[in-house]
Amino acid sequence: MQNKKSLLLVVLFLIAFGAVSSYGQKKSKNDNVDELRTSPKLVVGIVVDQMRYDYLTRFWNHFDEGGFKRLVNDGFNCKNNHFNYAPTSTGPGHTSVYTGSAPATHGVIGNNWYDKVADEEVYCASDDSYASVGTTSDAGKMSPHRMNVTTITDELRLHTQMRGKTIAVAFKDRGAVLPGGHTANAAYWFHGSDEGNWITSTYYMNELPKWVNSFNSSDIVEQYKKPWTTAKPINTYVESGRDNNTYEGLLDGEATPMFPHDLPKLWEGNGKYNILKVTPYGNSITTDFAIAAIEGEDLGKDQNSDFLAVSFSSTDYVGHFYGVNSKEIQDTYIRLDADLQRLFKTLDKKVGEGEYTVFLTADHGAVNVPAYLKDQKIPAGYIEFDDMKSEFEEFLKYKFGTTDIVKNFSNYQYFLDHKVIKNLDIEVADAQQIIAKELLNYEGVDQVYTGQQMWQNNYTSGIPYILQNGYNQKRSGDVLLVLKPGVISYSRTGSTHGSPQIYDTHVPLLFYGKGVKKGSTNQRTEIPDIAPTLASMLGIAFPNGTTGKPIIEVLE
């Protein structure tokens, strides 16, 4: 009898458990659609031009709670994020962020490069088949036609049957055109000189929208024609070097590179509105325009996710001119932090807190000024290619009987004339190797690789891995140079970038907002991982050239 009662209890328990279980399964099925995707009203992609990762930590104590700190404290921080290719420059950087691939796949191998087919130097965003809109100059003759694959912005447009909008904004044309992708509703960039207006290309439209014309006709930009003083007392800027030093550039009309920089006084001698590029005011104007775009385009106002791509270009101009250890770069990031806070407050109000998703990264890092490093007894220096040219040409004449075997040199790559090589009855691979061995002897050169090595081998780590990811078989050169760490081909003032060295590859990657888990990782992530992470979050197709992988720790 007792056994029968026990059996009955077991049966009743199983029935009850089965009902609860089936109810749970039914609920789970209803939730499956939500688990497949995150649907922010707006995705905001932010690329800070030339932002090293250590700017986050160096200037941390000067940031307010609503800018960088908001992204780090309430979002996800990828602390060990890197570019996995070289050259590390603006055009390839923005393209790689948005395509989820490297130059080997997307084809944007530099800001400029030698086109082997056309036998001419080309610019990553130039396109003479389109006309300028908003200016009578040629500054608007741009399109993304040199980019071989789709972007995350393209895929979001396709996924929403073109109902979701994509608006791209940057001071630099390439910082807007390439993130916007092939299908952007609009890409806008700033034309300085004596105009100071936001412009675009007939690739996108035949005339500027009313809200852009209103912005251009307002006095918003004119308000920044004022002296550049530090946002906080300069004596608190202990995280950067001396204000008066020999490692910084001088604006025409200045005797020293010291604060304050009197922009009204320097206006005429420094390109008029162009001078704003090399100040943090360029970023503030970009923020003003991005906010106007949110309102003017009604971004984030319907059920279709929109995309706002914003690139802050002035950080790059300031870094190039003053260097990564300058008071000017520190003030630029303190002011950028305030601009970010302004942008996020607008998003909270116009789109809704918790209703948008943000990522922030950079298009490359930068080296500290080698002249400064040398003074600190750190190995560094400069290479003058013009100085080594005569010796190199003598070698070419001795070995091949002609200098015509080398057709072009750009992005630290030598392009050889394959017709000349054929006439000399030499194999291309042999010519590449002979020249590579010679170049390895020159002061400042650390490593040399050939196109044949890039074709034949599968590198998985180190410098050759980075070079191979940047090597496009149809567009790249025959011999690839790598300079010694800390050695650059540049002026003696200011910082630059472009190398496969870690100071050029290590950049921030922050995610924040809807669909993002709070936390951080020290695991290595790479720039091509950004687009597939967003695609997984949004539940849309990966860009069609994607080589990166979703960062699963980021996703809720």
* Positions marked active-site: 90
Residue pair 99/82 in contact by the 8 Å Cβ criterion: no
Q: Write down the residue that tokens 């992204």 correspond to.
A: 71
Closest by Cα among 186, 185, 178, 176 to 157: 185
In DSSP terms, 80 is beta-bridged to 524
Q: DSSP letters of 96-154?
A: HHHHSS-HHHH---SSEEEETTTTEEEETTB-TTS-EES-SSSTT-B-STT--S--HHH
Q: CA 366, CA 378: separation in Å to the nearest integer? A: 16
| Burial per residue of 384-400, b for 16 or more beta-carbon CB atoms within 10 angstroms, e otherwise | eeeebeeebeebbeeeb
- Tally of CB atoms within 10 A around 16: 10
Residue pair 356/514 in contact by the 8 Å Cβ criterion: yes
Q: Write down the residue that tokens 């385009």 correspond to.
A: 297
β-strand 120-123 against 42-48: which pairing, if any? unpaired
HSE, CB side, 13 Å, CA atoms: give it for residue 55: 36
Q: Write down the residue that tokens 């500027």 correspond to.
A: 208
Report in angstroms the alpha-carbon separations of 499 from 52, 83, 190, 519: 14, 11, 28, 30
Residue pair 173/125 in contact by the 8 Å Cβ criterion: yes
Degrees to nearest 5, angle at CA 94 with 536 and 130 = 115
Give the DSSP H or E segment for 406. Answer: strand 406-410
